[in-house]
Amino acid sequence: MIKKKSKIFVAGHNGLVGSAILRKLKKKGYKNIITADRGKLDLTNQSKVLAFIKKKKPNFIFIAAAKVGGIYSNQRYKAEFIYSNLSIQLNIINSAHVCGIKDLIFLGSSCVYPRDCKQPMKEDYLLNGKLEKTNDAYAIAKIAGIKMCESYNQQYKTNYKCLMPTNTYGPNDNYDDLDSHFFPALIKKIHKLKVKKKKNLVLWGNGSAKREVIYVDDIADACIHFMNKKVKENLINIGTGKDYSVKEYAKIMIKIINPTTDVKIIFDKTKPNGTPRKVMNINLAKKYGWKPKTNLNSSILKTYKSFLKEHK
């Protein structure tokens, strides 16, 4: 059991998920939280990570640090994606073991499951088929992290849990034109139409790809829930269990962000769709007492308001 005074290291505390975990920990009264900016600690440097963890001696670690991006960057920078993510995971997980830290949560992604995976995706479907080529380097790194945690648990009797969130959105997201995921990219594109008073919304692919999304505060809630929960399984899906097409998400967002303009959606079919469908089976998480709490429409509005504050 992690007590309110326990030392908790949040790796990646400035990112979308890490910052949400930090907010939720503080809200729940955890006082002894350890963080380190990228300038102070290079998580890809093995010796520096080990020295940091030896010095700080946390009781629990959240690995929310990762190199992430959308379809463009995943295809363009495969080498960086596989190197950075493997390095971060290997360094933190092994350093935790060396320093006698028995408890951590490693955060992955729904892209670890096969491209043509049976839907909804169960934890048992891991490694049962070929990955989506546009993000296979990132996915392989995350799979390695899952297997590393599993191996350390078996050999060293650690309690390293792997939570696999679906597509995440919320405050502190990445809205870069080429480097963002589809959800923040949609928010930014629709906002630009509103500001410039234009009507044509151009989207990659044909709009048929289906995606499940989850508000980042729900992921943070799941992280803290499972931090204090004994589980038999190494891998647990975190999502909503519901999905919509990219076209449907665009229509929902237009009504919330730009309801007064008659927006026309145009699809650039020369660009890839990515995986045809990704929706999680979250029965295991529910079995352990967790389920998402946030409404889609209200959370989109919250996210848009935070976008406006972050991009004045």
Active site residue 138: yes
What does the alpha-carbon distance between residue 303 and residue 88 come to, in Å, rounded to a whole number?
A: 28
Paired strand residues for 159: 103
**Domains detected in the chain:** 8-174+214-242+278-294 (3.40.50.720)
Strand spans (E) along 64-211: 103-107, 159-165, 167-169, 200-204, 210-211
For residue 90, which of 41, 148, 38 has the smallest C-alpha distance? 148
Contacts of 228 (CB under 8 A, 6+ apart): 1, 2
Cβ(153)–Cβ(98) below 8 Å? no
Environment class of 35 (CB within 10 Å of its CB; exposed 0-12, middle 13-18, buried 19+): middle
Cβ count within 10 A of residue 269: 11
10-residue stretch averages of pLDDT, the chain, 312 residues long: 93 97 97 96 98 98 93 88 98 98 97 94 97 94 98 98 96 85 91 94 91 97 96 97 95 94 92 85 98 96 95 77
Q: Are 276 and 210 in contact (CB under 8 A)?
A: yes
Yes or no: say if 165 and 214 are a contact pair by the CB < 8 Å rule.
yes
Contact 145, 11 (CB under 8 A): no
d(CA 222, CA 62): 12
Q: How far apart are CA 38 and CA 40, in angstroms?
A: 5
Instruction: Give me the pLDDT at residue 311, please.
Output: 84
Query: How confident is the model at residue 195, as a pLDDT?
Result: 93
- Give residue 164's pLDDT: 98
Q: Give the pLDDT confidence score for residue 146 in this predicted structure.
A: 98
Place of tokens 């920078």: 77
Q: What is the rounded end-to-end Cα distance, in angstroms, of the chain?
A: 42
As beta bridge partners, residue 158 has none
- What pLDDT shows up at residue 276? 83
pLDDT of residue 232: 95
The whole-number pLDDT of residue 99 equals 98
d(CA 145, CA 136): 14
Which residue in the list 72, 113, 138, 169 is annotated as catalytic?
138
pLDDT for the residue 293? 96
How does DSSP classify residue 124?
A: G
CA pair distance 123, 194, nearest whole angstrom = 41
Q: How far apart are CA 213 and CA 24, in angstroms?
A: 19
